[in-house]
Amino acid sequence: MLARQRRERIAELVRQHGSIRVGALTERFSVSHMTIRRDLETLARGGHLDKVHGGAVTPEHGGTAEPRFGGKRSREVDAQEGIAAAAARLVAPGSAVALTAGTTTWTLAGHLLDIPDLTVVTNSVRAAQILETHRRQAQTVVLTGGVRTPSDALVGPVAVAALASLRVDVLFMGVHGMDARTGFSTSNPQEAEVNRAMCRSARRVVVLAEHTKWDAPGLATIGPLETADLLITDSGIDAHARDALEAGVGELTVAEPPARTRPSESVRT
């Protein structure tokens, strides 16, 4: 691959995921750290990205590498709908669930509106809004409190303290990225801390992540792949990623987009 082609692909990856690490790029392109740093410097001078410690982010988000909710929502909508529908089938009436912030978990909130006697704990302002505004059954929504991020997550010590005293049947967690070495990650260290607190409060952890999240780790690690009792992704996942996920998570479900009629495929490990 020519240097120009590699740089074009790097810029595309950063635009797609919001941030990316030098280590992930060296593995993807089989080049040295120095080569990737030179590529990032060239792309930064051209205004295609911003360099940060250990990687690069999209220029409009600065050093936090955190896309706003609207920007993330425009990506992989069909995949998110399929994943959310598969996740909703796991929720029983009368149960207590938790939702982290993110567009896929927000999509899931819309699928929970008809489940009666549900208690939903969330640090997502958007998810709480859709549940409070549109619910059609008796439900209880618990919003953690905290400081609001650009992606409409509530983070910080208030959110962490609120979660310490709560217990839920299942957590549905969205992630910014995932790979075999880093595990699950997000772009905001405070959001990673809240997600870890949510994992501790849940009897079962279900990660919702479309295929574009693979090999695009965020800046803050949430936990290893083993954190997930179940991971639901979409049919765009490639064979290499699928093998790594099957080896790492407790169970893997590949959900088809809603336009397709074939039922979800479940793979147990």
Q: How do residues 195-239 score in pLDDT, each as one tens digit?
A: 999 999 999 999 999 998 898 777 789 999 999 999 999 999 999
The string of DSSP letters for 29-49 reads HT--HHHHHHHHHHHHHTTS-
| Angle subtended by helix axes 189-201 and 157-164, to nearest 10 | 10
Q: Mean pLDDT highest for which of 17-31, 130-144, 161-175? A: 161-175
DSSP the chain: --HHHHHHHHHHHHHHHSEEEHHHHHHHHT--HHHHHHHHHHHHHTTS-EEETTEEE-GGGGGG----HHHHHTSSHHHHHHHHHHHHTTPPTT-EEEE-SSHHHHHHHHHTTT-TTEEEEESBHHHHHHHHHH--S-EEEEE---EEPTTSBEESHHHHHHHHT--EEEEEEE-SEEETTTEEEES-HHHHHHHHHHHHHEEEEEEE--GGGBT---SEEEE-GGG-SEEEEETT--HHHHHHHHHHSSEEEEEPPTT--SPPEEEE-
Across 16-30, 91-105, 252-266, which has the greatest mean pLDDT? 91-105
Rounded Cα gap, residues 71 and 13, in angstroms: 15
Asked if residues 256 and 82 have their Cβ atoms less than 8 Å apart, the reply is yes
Q: How many Cα atoms occupy the beta-carbon half-sphere of 112 within 13 Å?
A: 35
pLDDT of 70 higher than 60: no
pLDDT of residue 156: 94
Does residue 1 register a pLDDT over 50?
yes
Decide if pLDDT at 253 tops 90.
yes
- Provide the pLDDT confidence category of residue 85 given band limits of 50, 70 and 90: very high
pLDDT of residue 45: 76
Give the domains, in start order, of the chain with CATH numbers: 3-63 (1.10.10), 71-268 (3.40.50.1360)
Length of the chain: 269
